[in-house]
Structure 1
Amino acid sequence: MKKLNISLILLAMIALSGCSVVTGIFKAGVFVGILAIVVVVGILIWLFSMFTGGGK
């Protein structure tokens, strides 16, 4: 019975650490996605200003 309890605690610790890894990956993904959107919008604004004559 004692081995079963230790095994369950060990399994729970492994599962919870896996969840924190997945959370970290998704947070990094959100950051990279927001950064990519900002870069694309900046490039579009720069191109628009060049074609309208504002980038002289």
Structure 2
Amino acid sequence: MKSVINKLIVLSLTSLLFTSCSAIESIFKAGMGVGIFIVIAILAIIVYIISKFSDKK
């Protein structure tokens, strides 16, 4: 009986850990998307500023 309870506890803990890992994976994927968007936005601003300075000639 003790063995069955131990197996159930291990199984439930393992399933909980795997779902938390997938949740963290989703958070990192979303963070990566936001990071890429921010980098592209900053590059666009830099190109805009450079083009404004080069037009003054």
What's the TM-score, normalizing by structure 1? 0.88
2:21 to 5, 19, 22: 19
What's the TM-score, normalizing by structure 2? 0.87
Coordinate RMSD, CA, aligned? 1.2
Q: Give, in whole Å, the separation in 2 of the partners of 1:37 and 1:5.
A: 48
Q: Which amino acid is 2:42 matched to?
A: V
Secondary structure of 2:55's counterpart equals coil
Which residue pairs with 2:43 in the alignment? 41
Considering Cα pairs closer than 8 Å and 6+ residues apart, tell me whether 1 or 2 has the greater RCO.
1
% same residue: 26
Q: Which runs of 5+ in 1 are unaligned?
A: none
How many pairs were matched up?
54
Q: Which runs of 5+ in 2 are unaligned?
A: none
